[in-house]
């Protein structure tokens, strides 16, 4: 994709979506997120050859929420390797992100690491023998390293707001603890989980943080973040499970491994080509950014980028 073309595509997507009439509904179950103005849209693309293309509100910070599950999973796999898969599955759930229904039948083993139950087990692993504060520091440092940006921080108000209202996640953690699949007390595990979700990043910072997944596990500075096979598997999970019960439709419409969050962000990875971040706070009923999904669909159509098409 020649540079000028990609610039024009990004400008066109940002221009078209800035005029959107239906922005979707902002998440309201976390009170602090309900305050965000829905009429915002940003896009940033970090390419494998080192370019950065931005459009719209690409430098506005937003709550990354469940996108943090990608970075938390990467850390947990670094700590316990494939043993993680004894405690978390790798199948799409076909259920909402915060669903509890499958846990009973599946004896407290969540379907995948990207639904809340799975991410809570991942947090339990990342907590290890640390105090939550130390484990939170570890994930924040990891994300800053990936993005090459030490200004990335946690929004304490969002974390407090979710802590005060996250009854479902407390239930999920305790339910899995009853099966022996969560080892720490719910308040400790969720202390870590809620703070990683409350990390605030802009599209530009998020696209930079995702580069290791487009570069076969390498940091652009040359360091190895994960082995190539692990980057491939994380991308596979993003494709099959990254948008919860809308993952199939998303693969059909977009075809790019992506992870969404209820803050309205989506991180998309085109292996060998691009790390893409889009953000618009309004969600569709499945809890994924309404315009963010549309933006990635437009981008995939115009660039031909997809894991299902030849390069």
Q: What is the DSSP letter of 45?
A: E
Task: For residue 275, give every residue at least 6 positions away whose Cβ sits within 8 Å of its Cβ, in sequence order, or none.
Answer: 45, 46, 207, 208, 209, 210, 211, 213, 214, 267, 268, 269
* 53/283 with CB nearer ligand GLN: 283
- CA 153 → CA 39, 72, 123, distances in Å? 24, 16, 18
Q: Which of residues 201-240 bind ligand GLN (CB under 6 A)?
A: none
Whether 262 sits among the annotated catalytic residues: the reply is yes
Task: Fill in the per-residue mask, 11 to 50: x = in contact with ligand GLN (CB under 6 A), - = not in contact.
Answer: ----------------------------------------
**Binding status of residue 126 toward ligand GLN by CB under 6 A:** no
Q: Which of residues 50-109 bind ligand GLN (CB under 6 A)?
A: 65-66, 97-98
Compute how many other C-beta atoms are within 10 angstroms of the C-beta atom of residue 29. 15
73: phi then psi, degrees, rounded to nearest 5: -65, -40
d(CA 64, CA 60): 12
143: phi then psi, degrees, rounded to nearest 5: -65, -40
Whether 35 sits among the annotated catalytic residues: the reply is no
d(CA 20, CA 13): 11
Query: How many residues interact with ligand GLN (rule CB under 6 A)?
Result: 11
Q: Which of residues 134-163 bind ligand GLN (CB under 6 A)?
A: 162
Whether 145 sits among the annotated catalytic residues: the reply is no
Longest dimension (CA), the chain: 56
Nearest to ligand GLN by Cβ — which residue?
A: 66
10, 26, 54, 66: which one is catalytic?
66
Whether 69 sits among the annotated catalytic residues: the reply is yes
* 116/294 with CB nearer ligand GLN: 116
Please check if 162 is assigned to a binding site: yes
Which residues carry a binding-site annotation for substrate?
66, 116, 162, 169, 193, 244, 262
Residues designated catalytic: 66, 69, 193, 244, 262
The residues of the shown chain that bind ligand GLN, judged by CB under 6 A, are 65-66, 97-98, 116, 162, 169, 197, 261-262, 287
């Amino acid at each position: 994709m020649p540079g000028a073309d990609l610039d024009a595509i990004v400008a066109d997507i940002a221009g078209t979506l800035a005029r959107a009439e239906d922005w979707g509904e902002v998440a309201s179950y976390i009170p602090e997120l309900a305050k965000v103005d829905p009429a915002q849209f940003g896009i940033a693309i970090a390419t494998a050859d080192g370019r950065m293309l931005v459009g719209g509100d690409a430098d506005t910070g937003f709550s990354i929420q469940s996108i943090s599950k990608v970075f938390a999973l990467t850390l947990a796999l670094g700590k316990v390797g494939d043993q993680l898969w004894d405690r978390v599955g790798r199948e799409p759930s076909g259920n909402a992100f915060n669903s509890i229904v499958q846990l009973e039948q599946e004896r407290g083993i969540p379907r995948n690491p990207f639904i809340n139950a799975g991410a809570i087990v991942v947090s339990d692993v990342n907590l290890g023998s640390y105090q939550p504060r130390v484990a939170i520091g570890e994930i924040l440092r990891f994300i800053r390293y990936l993005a090459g940006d030490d200004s990335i921080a946690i929004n304490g108000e969002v974390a407090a707001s979710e802590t005060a209202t996250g009854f479902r996640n407390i239930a999920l953690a305790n339910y899995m603890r009853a099966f022996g699949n969560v080892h720490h007390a719910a308040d400790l595990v969720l202390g870590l989980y809620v703070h990683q979700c409350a990390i605030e990043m802009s599209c530009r910072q998020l696209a930079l943080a995702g580069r290791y997944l487009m570069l076969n596990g390498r940091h652009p500075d040359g360091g190895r973040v994960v082995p190539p096979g692990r980057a491939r598997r994380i991308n596979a999970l993003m494709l099959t499970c990254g948008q919860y019960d809308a993952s199939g439709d998303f693969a059909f419409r977009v075809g790019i491994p992506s992870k969404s969050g209820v803050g309205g962000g989506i991180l998309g990875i085109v292996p060998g080509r691009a790390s893409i971040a889009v953000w618009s706070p309004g969600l569709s009923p499945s809890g994924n950014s309404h315009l963010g999904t549309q933006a990635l669909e437009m981008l995939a159509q115009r660039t031909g980028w997809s894991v299902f098409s030849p390069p």
